Amino acid sequence: MARHCALIAGVSGAVGRALGKYLAAHEDWEVIGLARRVPPRSLDYPVISVDLTDAGACRAALGELKNVTHVLYCARAAHTAAVREPIDVNLAMLRNLLDAIEPVAPGLAHVHFVQGSKVYGSDLGPYKTPARESDPRVGEYNWYYAQEDLIVERSRGRRWSWSASRPHGVCDREPVPRSLAMVIAIYAAISKELGQPLHFPGTAGSFHALYQCVDATLLAKAIAWISTAPACANQAFNVTNGDLIRWANLWPGFAGFFGMKAGPVKTVRLSEVMTDKAPVWERIVNKYRLKPTPYEKTAAWPYGDFNFGRDYDIMSSTLKLRQTGFRDSIDTSRMLLEHLGHFRQQRIIP
């Protein structure tokens, strides 16, 4: 019999999907997913369709979930690349979920929420590295801070504790759009079809700067650990693969995987230059008899622009997490090539 019951918000995203899959494979966990739209393919656990921005809908959908012990919050409000994540909407979503589940789940023991390295201002310009969880907040208030302030204040005097994970550069071996592995895979496949070398689409500074990634499954393991280890209660933890990379060192390997030449840096905005490539993608799918994947669901190009476009080091220390006893790590270069190989095996890419 399961000892824990996880309610995973945002289960259709890269982090939530990997977390649900990981927990569902362990008999200690019962899993219930939440998503605005139920994923089309069947999963190993039930998924409830609910709009977290609607307080009434949350109360109606979650009112019977009395066995929930862990809320694992991986959701985020939809936004465009040109607009920063809205603070008010993201805050309301988390509040609505807690307002709905707290009164009906007497065994609620823990609330975990996923943040990111934007906590340290990694999106604003060069910042102090390696970033540590004890670093002071940057001057610009954001939705991560708002959610953390809500959770910290709300947990006072409650039965449940809280925690937060701070990943960066999430990569998933499953074909989800918001994964750097998929961005690289689809970009490379289209470049090859157009007879182009594999240029690095970001900036020259980003090409040579230190960078970090995290495998979605490793992140799922870390979230499970952080959410159940007493030593992790009421704290935030950086989570990465544990190593650092430079795209300049990895790019020739990606080109070799696709049988291409590695071209020089050619800075472009993927969210602009890839918008008209649907016909090219359809040609690739038909030519190589790939699994039909709609072009708009292949890769989140703004996510690529964000991760390839910064001219400074992106580094988070994971010492604090390791000191709690979590020891898992992954070689990022090997991980990305394995992800590409899995996409090919699954006939997602040629």
DSSP conformation class of 198: B
Q: How far is residue 297 from each of residues 44, 51, 77, 129, 199, measured CA to CA in Å?
A: 22, 21, 18, 34, 23
Cα gap 127→135, rounded to integer Å: 11
DSSP conformation class of 173: S
For 49, the token pair is 């369709």
Torsion region of 158: left, alpha or beta (phi above 0 gives left; psi -120 to 50 gives alpha): beta
288 catalytically annotated: no
* Strands of the 110-114 sheet, one edge to the other: 47-49, 29-35, 4-9, 70-73, 110-114, 161-166, 235-238
Q: State phi, psi for 344 to the nearest 5 degrees.
A: -65, -45
Stated as kind and residue range, the H or E segment containing 214 is: strand 214-215
Lookup result for tokens 């910042």:
127
Outline where 3-82 has alpha helix (H). 14-24, 55-62
The active-site residue out of 73, 120, 144, 295 is 144
Number of CB atoms found within 10 A of residue 178's CB: 17
Contacts (Cβ under 8 Å, ≥6 apart) of 311:
203, 204, 205, 206, 209
Catalytic residue list:
144
